[in-house]
Amino acid sequence: MSKPLKLSIDGMHCGGCVTRLSNTLRKLEGVELRHAEVGSAEVSYDDQHISREDIAAAIERIGFQVIGTSE
């Protein structure tokens, strides 16, 4: 079952950041990117395949900081 997730993200400044974030999220199994812009992203995720924490960790590995999440 797919769950919605909104992420507030710090450290993004331009369209290149949005592209890097989008590419990272699209590669995660169980994650479907709904929307990304500077400072935020919306995804749907399958919690049988990936956790909210795993999604945040993937974002932080590319140099951004997740400062908030909501479903």
Q: Where are the domains of the chain?
A: 2-70
- 8-41 pLDDT per residue, tens: 999 999 999 999 999 999 999 999 999 999 999 9
Q: pTM score, two decimals? A: 0.93
How does DSSP classify residue 1? -
pLDDT of 1 > 80? The answer is no
Residue 60: predicted pLDDT: 98
Q: What pLDDT is stored for residue 71 in this prediction?
A: 87
* Structure tokens given for 57: 């960790």
Report helix, strand or coil for 26: helix
Range 2-70 has CATH code 3.30.70.100: yes
